[in-house]
């Protein structure tokens, strides 16, 4: 959904099921400074390697190539938006895979 809240603000609500994010554009603002109160946003994706390749093909910047987290099995990557904000991508199939694998092994051994 896209809402023109006034002649100064446009909001877009993106979501699926109960997860929604609001993106706003403030008309007439020339430049924002990157603040220190914001770290990054993380998004789960089905195929992190294809997602990063598509981002690169469209001129985007991948600042950490897809790969497992240090001391873990969750596969992540970081991309950067045009304003320099970091966006973490998480391979959904690997998120918490160590816990899932241990649970499955316990069921099999019983």
Averaged over successive runs of 10 residues, the pLDDT of the chain (110 residues) comes to 69 77 79 68 92 97 95 92 91 64 42
pLDDT at 50: 97
Which sequence spans correspond to the domains of the chain?
A: 2-28+40-102
pLDDT at 106: 41
Q: Would the pTM of this model clear 0.75, i.e. be above it?
A: no
pLDDT at 110: 43
Catalytic residues: 88
Q: Are 76 and 65 in contact (CB under 8 A)?
A: no
> How far is Cα 17 from Cα 44, in angstroms, rounded to an integer?
14
pLDDT at 15: 82
Q: Are 78 and 64 in contact (CB under 8 A)?
A: yes
> How far is Cα 32 from Cα 85, in angstroms, rounded to an integer?
12
CATH superfamily of 2-28+40-102: 2,3-Dihydroxybiphenyl 1,2-Dioxygenase, domain 1 (3.10.180.10)
82: Cα separation from own chain's centroid:
15
71: Cα separation from own chain's centroid:
21
């Amino acid at each position: 959904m896209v809402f023109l809240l006034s002649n100064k603000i446009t909001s877009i609500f993106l979501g699926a099921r109960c997860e929604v994010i609001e993106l706003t554009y403030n008309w007439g603002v020339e430049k924002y400074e990157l603040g220190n109160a914001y770290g990054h946003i993380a998004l789960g994706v089905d195929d992190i390697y294809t997602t990063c390749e598509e981002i690169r093909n469209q001129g985007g910047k991948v600042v950490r190539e897809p790969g497992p987290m240090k001391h873990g099995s969750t596969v992540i990557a970081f991309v950067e938006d045009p304003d320099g904000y970091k966006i973490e991508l998480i391979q959904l199939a690997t998120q918490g895979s160590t816990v899932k694998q241990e649970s499955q092994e316990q069921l099999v051994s019983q």
